[in-house]
């Protein structure tokens, strides 16, 4: 197991992924359980909801995405989209990230001038869960990427997996064994992004 800094530095977007098991399904479940339990949320609201899709469920998700896109992308330019869908479908599994805003509703009446900030804070919570899961999968030896095919797939996804209507789908994370390396990562100058006053 790598240190947090090593995991942070090695995490990348992997698009060439495969179905070779790297760790057991039980271990993947344990990683997600730990992410859900220990990732912080504003006012401990615990609004994030994660779905782990493996096997035929994983394939079904990417079939839904592909068919949804096929209906809106011109046929003559669909080939790159089809290849991308295949690259995700070829992976081992997908994590779906939802937010359930109901826990926030109980907090808002007593929040005073902060009431309008809760949706933003919920998004912060979601982002932290995505980051933690991505790093845990990377550390376990899987390659992953973060995708955003919501909201075009939301209705079909909710119907297929019986997900509450008021939960909001925010991201999809396909993951799998690493079959190819991403390109070189480029960094903007630190002096344009980090400002220090002593």
Report the alpha-carbon distance of residue 188 to residue 39 in Å, rounded: 28
Q: Is 198 among the domain residues?
A: no
Residue 192 lies in a domain: no
Q: State mean pLDDT over 153-160.
A: 98
CATH number of the domain within which 13 lies: 3.40.109.10
pLDDT for 180 equals 94
Using one digit for the tens of pLDDT, what is the confidence trace for 35-61?
Answer: 999 999 988 999 999 999 999 999 999
Is the residue at 159 inside a domain?
yes
CA–CA dist 18, 93 (Å, integer): 10
- The reply to whether 196 falls in a domain is no
Domain assignment of residue 162, yes or no = yes
Find the mean pLDDT for residues 60-78.
96
pLDDT of residue 111: 74
Structural domain contains residue 190 = no
70: pLDDT strictly greater than 90? yes
Region 167-181: mean pLDDT is 97
- 98-140 residue pLDDT tens: 999 888 888 778 777 877 888 888 899 999 999 999 999 999 9
What percent of the chain has a predicted confidence (pLDDT) above 70? Answer: 99
pTM (two decimals): 0.94
Rounded Cα distance, 63 and 42, in Å: 35
| pLDDT reading at 96 higher than 70 | yes
Q: What are phi and psi of 101, to 5 degrees?
A: -80, -5
Mean pLDDT, rounded, of the chain: 94
Which residue do the tokens 């789908």 mark?
Answer: 169
Q: How confident is the model at residue 1 (pLDDT cuts 50, 70, 90)?
A: low
Residue 8 domain boundaries:
4-179
How large is the average pLDDT for residues 15-29? 97
Tokens for 35, please give them. 């992410």
Q: How many distinct structural domains can be found in the chain?
A: 1
25-55 core/surface letters (b: 16 or more CB in 10 A; e: else):
eeebeebbeebeeebebbeebebbbbbbbee
- Asked if the structure places residue 160 within a domain, the reply is yes
Above 70 in pLDDT, residue 92?
yes
Asked, for residue 112, whether it belongs to a domain, the answer is: yes
The whole-number pLDDT of residue 25 equals 98
């Amino acid at each position: 197991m790598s240190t947090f800094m090593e995991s942070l530095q090695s995490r990348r977007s992997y698009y060439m992924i495969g179905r070779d098991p790297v760790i057991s399904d039980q271990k993947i479940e344990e990683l997600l359980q730990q992410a859900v339990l220990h990732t912080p949320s504003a006012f401990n609201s615990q609004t994030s909801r994660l779905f782990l899709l493996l096997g035929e469920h994983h394939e079904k998700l990417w079939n839904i995405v592909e068919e949804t896109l096929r209906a809106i992308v011109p046929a003559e330019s669909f080939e790159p989209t089809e290849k991308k869908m295949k690259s995700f479908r070829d992976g081992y599994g997908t994590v779906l990230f939802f937010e359930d805003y109901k826990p926030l509703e109980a907090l808002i009446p007593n929040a005073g001038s902060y009431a309008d900030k809760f949706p933003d804070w919920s998004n912060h919570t979601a982002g932290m869960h995505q980051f933690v899961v991505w790093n845990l999968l990377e550390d376990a030896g899987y390659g992953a990427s973060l995708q955003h095919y919501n909201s075009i797939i939301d209705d079909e996804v909710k119907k297929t997996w019986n997900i509450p209507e008021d939960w909001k789908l925010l991201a999809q994370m396909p993951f799998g064994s690493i079959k190819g390396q991403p390109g070189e990562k480029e960094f903007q100058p630190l002096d344009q992004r980090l400002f220090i006053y002593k």
